[in-house]
Structure 1
Amino acid sequence: MESLLTSAIAGLSAGGAYAILGVCVVFTYRLVAVVNFTATALGAVGAFVMVMLVEYGYPLVPAVLTGLVAGTLASVMVGFVTTIWFSGSTPSVKAAVTAALLVCLIALGLRFTGGQHPRAFPDLIGGAGFKIAGVTVTNASFVAIGLAVALTIAVEQFLGRTRTGLQLRALSERPMAAELLGVPVRRLALGVWALSGAVTTIALMLIAPLRSPDFGSLSLLVVPAFAAALVGSFNSFRAALVGGIAIGVIEGLASGFVGLNQYRAAVPFLVILTVLMWSQRGARWDEAR
């Protein structure tokens, strides 16, 4: 039992990062109506800028800040493409554009970062932290969960209680009407992309030391991010938060079993399949009757 608890708690770091990524996916979808397949690839851009600067001998803090700026700018560039060039397109077309850009980003990222050779990412938040039922919770786990919760609360309060939040909701629901009423639609949309890129970069920096951190592997963390967002139906920040943490914990539990350890990467796919099947239960029940 203790070994299972240890494995579950070990998954909290990844779960916190998944929760942050899932909340960012929901944030982008709700406010600019884009299913952003490039989310984690853009965060990987910033994370790899950071680690390459560290390898060249730069101090950690300036390297982290530079990586954060790089991830933010990369996200703004993709946002510029979807906002300016495809502003009148349907959500499915925008999703297809981001999927194509994901493939391009992975190809370019692998080319410029040395292919599939893992890099030695620094552990930004080290330390044993504290103990729960005799099991040590690392500082990285605590910070990841804390950031995910803080992000969820901040986004909900921002959208519900501020003038800019009201404008963003108008942008997502009636973009043409919002523009006619004088709402700075493009500037707000690019702001959404910038914030998403910055937060995603932070999440990737936190989770990279726990993974085989080549550019492709980090970019494909979009799968657990989408699984977490799907738990919230791409609408609920809180459900995405819970979904992301749960996925990390389940992965941790799977790693505690010798026969299941090699299949833990399949957990997000199983979550996606389960949620999709559950969402169709009403239609299947009607057909059966």
Structure 2
Amino acid sequence: MLRCTWLLMTVVGAWSAPAEDLITSLPGMDYEVSFAQYSGYLDGLEGQHLHYWFVESQRDPTSDPVILWLNGGPGCSSMEGNIKELGPFSISKEDEFSLIQNPYSWNLNASVIFLESPVCVGYSYSDDGSCESSDDTTSMANYMAIQDFFTIKFPEFHGLDFYIVGFSYGGVYVPTLAQRVQEGQSTFPLELKGWATGNGALDHRQNDNSLMFFAYHHGLFDDNLWDRMVEHCCNGGVASKDTCNFHDPIDVSCIANVYEGLDAVYGGG
């Protein structure tokens, strides 16, 4: 019976895309595109409204997979991923206004949901103005938002292959949401085929420690700085994941060395 219910929703939903959310024009775009796109709100936790921008696949939106994209932060807008990274458009460097088409857009082969999460990120808001959130409440709000997407806004896309992808602090957002999807399959079935994170923030200590090893072995700073780091930050002057502490050092020289390393990583262009 549950399967029949979802089938009915899919059939009915063939004409149910929300007309009020349809994007008909964009600043800086003087050409037509071959795909539909929408912008509006999905309901998260009670009183929360999460802004989304949805672009249908340019190939075949009736059968291509649906991808949910989450930027990191915590608190970074997924509009950055849309406009600067994997969305169908990017801003021209010539006039810094015109929208040009991205030849590497993910919506060449998939429909993509860009969701601004948690509440108060970008255009997302709460009725009472509260911006409080945690990793747990964020994953629940995201889970409720995708339920709203597949049941109320775009039921015609329910039943297609579904992927959850993000980067940076998406290393927390993505797997926690994927776990909720898996645990909720009996009440809200989704064709979750996989999830992925790039440069995922999984553990701050491991990330900070591994960053210095990564930077050195990729030549972002020289042997001189690395030797000083090992001397001041690693027990016994031995470089290993178990002996080095680049995360929260207390040695003044180590702190200075780490900041020098971070400048090479983040300020090197």
- Fold conserved (TM > 0.5)? no
**TM-score, normalised on structure 2?**
0.21
Report the TM-score, using the length of structure 1 for normalisation. Answer: 0.20
Q: Which has the larger radius of gyration?
A: 2
Question: Which of the pair has the greater relative contact order for Cα pairs under 8 Å at 6+ separation?
Answer: 1
Structure showing the higher strand proportion among its residues: 2
